[in-house]
Structure 1
Amino acid sequence: MIIAAKAAAGMLLAEGSLQVPSIDEFLPPEILFQGTPFAINRIILVRIVATVVMLAVLGTTAAKAKLIPGRWQGAVEWLLEFVRDNIVYQVMGEIRGRRYVPMITTMFMTILVFNLCGIIPGLNIAATATIVVPLLFALWTFVQYWGATFRGKGFIPYLREELFPAGVPWPIYIILAPMQLLDIVVIRPFSLTIRLFANMISGHILVALCFAATQYFLIDAESKALIGFGAVTFVGGIVMTLFEAFVAAIQAFIFATLSTVYINLSYPED
């Protein structure tokens, strides 16, 4: 049945009957302040709404915090302690990691909420589904990375250690040094950016495709024989929505963990 559903969807797509999501959804037209530097499209509006809601929830929780926490306060505190203990302290240790707990917690919480916007009714698109936000967080990571380098080793000693590691035959440096420089300057921030960006785009397209097919098969299609295909795509859409929620959390965790690891690599070790 799944193979038949794919074949039917392919024929409908070829005929132009089924409206499928495309990459153009991630470049929506401006809806507010058109033609000004403050122009806002749908994705920017989702980011603003998500940020305001997140700050309001966390601010209200902090303002009403009690010595003996209730369920909601306990859940929020558990999440904050999870980032502190299982990401920052686990990688850096408590003494070094204390400096970076606010940064990594902010990064984790923001990415998590932005990712989950893709499955929230009325928003329906991840606020990290364009390259701007992932790139911004990656650059923040590497500002901290280079800052730790300057404080810990100094710029020249750090580059010498990274580009010309001890014990390597000198002819190998001709190949190794450019590769190492490319890694610390381009590949690490680029990998952080693309990993988050690509996962959020692909997840949105898969969920949207399932529900677009469901709408066509159950409502728009003239043939009642296609209703069975609609049931398959509807179940697929529910499964993909749950999976997208899982991916949203995992990607926030991975981004925060890798950022912590990269910053930790810039410190001198005994």
Structure 2
Amino acid sequence: MTTVLADGTFVPPSTADFFPPAIVAGITKPMVLLVLSVVLVAAFFLTATRRLAIVPGRFQFAAESVYDFGRDTIAREQIGGKDFRPYVPLIVTLFTFILVNNIFGIVPFIQFPTMAHTGFPLALLVVLYPLFHVVGIRRHGLGGYLKNQLFPPGVPKPVYLMLTPIELFLRFFMDPLSLAIRVFAAMFAGHLILLVFTLGGEFLLLEAGAALKPVSLLAFAFAVAMTFLEALVQVLQAYIFALLTANYIGRALAADH
């Protein structure tokens, strides 16, 4: 990316930096990273479970810890002890898949969080949105499911005139959409901040006058600090995405919410 124009003017990072040119024949870096993440997640679990032992080695222990976290901390807590088991593979896969794609943003020489592209979180939503409703319809029937979602029990009937349209908007539009927007916005903003400090520090070090060159050290220090913060956010966003997915499934299966 270009950070300095011919006249020495600094070019700040922008949305254009999130759309790298095609590597070959329309294949872009984010596409390659998405496929790479699938390969890495699959290879991790297949390798870790190839030779299972009662006393696990470090690799098996790591895989079991990730699985137990998705099963017990997310799926069981949000869906419920009776219904969570069929959804554990989905929750664990979502968590690890999004986590790897987020972590790409701070991996040297890669440094691009795939979920900073709106298309990828929205593609996940295309798969998950029908699931949120199908599981509820299968459990309660269409009428029972709509009643549970749109007419919360214990509410005076006149209040439904105002409450039901709000519930309709939230349950069938805003909640699932915010699921995708949340991870996209966090990855986009975090990566943009890292670009600002990194490229700004590089410009100050190489192009600015002698009086401003020491300021580049401060910019680089902020870049390092923001990298650690971004790593925390990347893990949290993967967790929140999986958590809310499990929550929406559990809400659809519940008799009421």
- How many residues get paired? 252
Distance 2:164 2:255 in 1: 21
Q: Equivalent residue for 1:152?
A: 139
In structure 2, the partner of 1:81 is 68
CA distance in 2, matches of 1:74, 1:133: 30
RMSD (Å) for aligned C-alpha atoms: 2.0
Q: 1:236-259 CA distances to partner (integer Å, 9 max, x unpaired)?
A: 000011111100000011111111
Q: Distance in 1 between matches of 2:155 and 2:79?
A: 28
The amino acid that maps onto 2:75 is V
- Where has structure 1 moved over 6 Å in runs of 4 or more? none
* Alpha-carbon distance in 1 for matches of 2:54, 2:101: 30
- Aligned-partner Cα distance in 1 for 2:174–2:223: 34
Q: Hey, what does 1:55 align to over in structure 2?
A: 42
Going from structure 1 to structure 2, the CA distance change for 1:166 and 1:72 (only over 3 Å counts) comes to closer
Instruction: Determine if contact 1:22/1:205 at 8 Å carries over to the other structure.
Output: yes
* Match status 1:219 vs 2:206: yes
Q: 1:57 and 1:165, CA in 2 relative to 1: closer, same or farther beyond 3 A?
A: closer
2:253 is aligned with 1:267: yes
Distance 1:164 1:56, change over 3 A: closer
Report what 1:24 is aligned to: 16
Task: Show the 5 A alignment for 1:80-229.
Answer: 80-221=67-208, 223-229=209-215
- Which whole-Å CA distance do the structure 2 matches of 1:60 and 1:185 have between them? 39
Distance 1:250 1:166, change over 3 A: closer
The reply to whether residue 72 of structure 1 matches residue 64 of structure 2 is no
Provide the rounded CA distance (Å) in 1 between the counterparts of 2:148 and 2:91: 27
TM-score, normalised via structure 2 length = 0.90
2:59 corresponds to which letter in structure 1? W
Q: Provide the TM-score with structure 1 as the length reference.
A: 0.86
1-side partners of 2:48 and 2:247: how far apart?
30
Give 1:235's aligned residue. 221
Contact (CA 8 Å) 2:75, 2:91: kept in 1 or not? Answer: yes
Once structures 1 and 2 are overlaid, which stretch shifts more, 178-187 or 163-172?
163-172
Q: CA deviation at 1:179?
A: 1.6
**Where does structure 1 lack aligned partners over 5 or more consecutive residues?**
1-11, 34-38
- Deviations 1:73-98, CA, capped at 9 Å, x for gaps: 21221111111111111222333110
